[in-house]
Amino acid sequence: MNTENKKPSPLGKGDRKAVDEVFRRAVFFDRDGTLNVDIAYLHRPEDFIWIPGAKEAIKYVNDHGYLAILVTNQSGVARGYYPESDVRHVYDWMNEELQSIGAHLDALYYCPHHPQGSVPAYTRTCNCRKPGTGLIDEACARFHIDRAASYFVGDRESDMLCARNAGLTGLRYDGGSLYDLVQAGISC
């Protein structure tokens, strides 16, 4: 599943195709445990606590010409804990928060599935659940992303495995300032 920010293009209609054919760089961010403190099945903005340096890390990525794309497993949907609309609501809230420092996330890609779910429509094994690469593959196709020049920032081994499987450079967040990790790890 994906949600993109709909921003007006500064280009004329005839320029859109040329821009879409250019390969772009991206930084994919895991959400829980990377951008926010990991609490079980976060689905409400009032429970969201930013990781130190997370907003600044996203701004750094924005300022250096990378797309900032959120990629997250959301098994709470399959387990019946909350609807997909809550995932999108938290994402929209995150972007509202980021606006205060001139930053933004360009798109949301999430997996609502889990093989042990309780909601039949979402109970399955799929390639979009990390460490599967389905979400990354979809974003790379949509945005024409150069995988060799792109990164995945996450806090779990499954995130790093997803990065390797997708041909991205993985940056493992183990605490401290996310901004420091991103600034030190990303080539600009």
Tell me whether residue 84 is exposed, middle or buried, using C-beta atoms within 10 angstroms of its C-beta: 0 to 12, 13 to 18, 19 or more.
Answer: middle
Beta-ladder partners of 27: 68, 151
User: Does residue 32 carry a catalytic annotation?
Assistant: yes
In-domain check, residue 149:
yes
- Given a cut of 90, is residue 31 above it in pLDDT? yes
Tell me, what CATH number does 118's domain have? Answer: 3.40.50.1000
- Given a cut of 80, is residue 58 above it in pLDDT? yes
State the total domains in the chain.
1
In-domain check, residue 15:
no
- Given a cut of 50, is residue 53 above it in pLDDT? yes
Rounded to 5 degrees, φ, ψ at 38 are -80, 110
**Confidence class for position 13, pLDDT limits 50, 70, 90:** very low
In-domain check, residue 11:
no
- Among residues 20, 30, 38, 137, which one is catalytic? 30
User: Does residue 30 carry a catalytic annotation?
Assistant: yes
In-domain check, residue 64:
yes
Place of tokens 């109970």: 123
For residue 148, the Cα-to-chain-centroid distance in whole angstroms is: 18
Q: How far apart are CA 23 and CA 33, in angstroms?
A: 29
- Among residues 20, 32, 63, 92, which one is catalytic? 32
What would the DSSP string read from start to end of 85-142? HHHHHHHHHHHHHHHTTT----EEEEE---TT-SSGGG-S--SSSTTS-HHHHHHHHH
- Given a cut of 80, is residue 8 above it in pLDDT? no
Q: What is the DSSP letter of 67?
A: E
- Given a cut of 50, is residue 45 above it in pLDDT? yes
In-domain check, residue 180:
no
Range of the domain at 60: 22-174
Q: How wide is the angle at C-alpha 9 spanned by C-alphas 14 and 166, nearest 5°?
A: 95
Rounded to 5 degrees, φ, ψ at 145 are -90, 135
Q: How far apart are CA 61 and CA 164, in angstroms?
A: 20
